[in-house]
Amino acid sequence: MMAIRALALAFLGAALLSSCSQGTNYPTNRGDGEYNLEAMALTQNDLPRGFTQGDGFEFKADEWAQLYNSDDPDATVRQLEAQGWLRNWVTEATPDSFGRVLNIRSISTLYTDEKAAQESTEKFACGLPVPLSEKLEPFIVSKIGEETNGFFLDEAIDANGTTLTYTTVCFRTGRIVHVVQQGSLPGLQDIGSSLRTAESMLKHVDAAYDMEPAKDDG
């Protein structure tokens, strides 16, 4: 069984902790190319002193599927497509020196419709490429956007077994799911800091929705 399907069980407890809608209206009827995911991302000004924002990247389904490390990437692509996954925009920032937080990541993922985005938030780890072996530990989060989840995610970063714990805050606006992750050594997680960073991202998200939609080149 693929990790994506298995996450439906692993994420059930986190779904029960999801925050309800704040009542903000986010249009879901724009063309797929009219959502400016890049404009929704964290910027250099949102980062703590000493952090540097790298270039952002757009992933398509076949590229994102490679991150699952599946034995059958084509099957993973088909599952992503079945879930309504269209494309995302990812940024990553790192510090100039070792500290409490070792990286900050933002991801915005566009889905085919609002239902698909809701299912991603509640069942499929907010679109993150999480393998079956990873453990998700949910925590309660305040309301951000229309639906919110929070969980810790451990990730090995080298062959020596060094692990980072990602404090992950996920929130949905319409048919887009946004993720903010702050990586730190186990035991140094800061939920409050991650929530504040997610709230900073929400400001960019709201501004992007208010902008004139970009033309769909497709």
Query: Any idea which of 13-27, 32-46, 82-96, 119-133 has the lowest mean pLDDT?
Result: 13-27
Q: Is residue 103 part of a domain?
A: yes
Are 126 and 148 spatial neighbours (Cβ–Cβ below 8 Å)?
no
pLDDT, mean over the chain: 85
- Beta pairing partners, 105: 92, 181
Q: Is residue 12 part of a domain?
A: yes
Q: Is residue 192 part of a domain?
A: yes
The range of the structural domain enclosing residue 149 comes to 3-20+36-210
The pLDDT tens digits of the residues spanning 19-49 come to: 443 446 799 999 999 999 999 999 999 999 9
The pLDDT tens digits of the residues spanning 146-190 come to: 999 999 998 877 777 778 899 999 999 999 999 999 999 888 899
Q: Is residue 27 part of a domain?
A: no
Q: Is residue 218 part of a domain?
A: no
User: For the chain, what percent of residues have pLDDT higher than 90?
Assistant: 67
Q: Is residue 183 part of a domain?
A: yes
Q: Is residue 109 part of a domain?
A: yes
Pure H helices in the chain: 3-10, 12-16, 61-65, 73-82, 114-123, 191-210
Q: Is residue 8 part of a domain?
A: yes
More reliable by pLDDT, 218 or 160? 160
Structural domain count, the chain: 1
Identify each DSSP E strand in the chain by its residue range.
51-53, 57-60, 85-95, 103-111, 136-138, 147-156, 163-173, 176-184
Residue 69 belongs to a domain with what CATH number? 3.40.1000
Using CA atoms, how far apart are residues 137 and 153, in angstroms rounded to an integer? 7
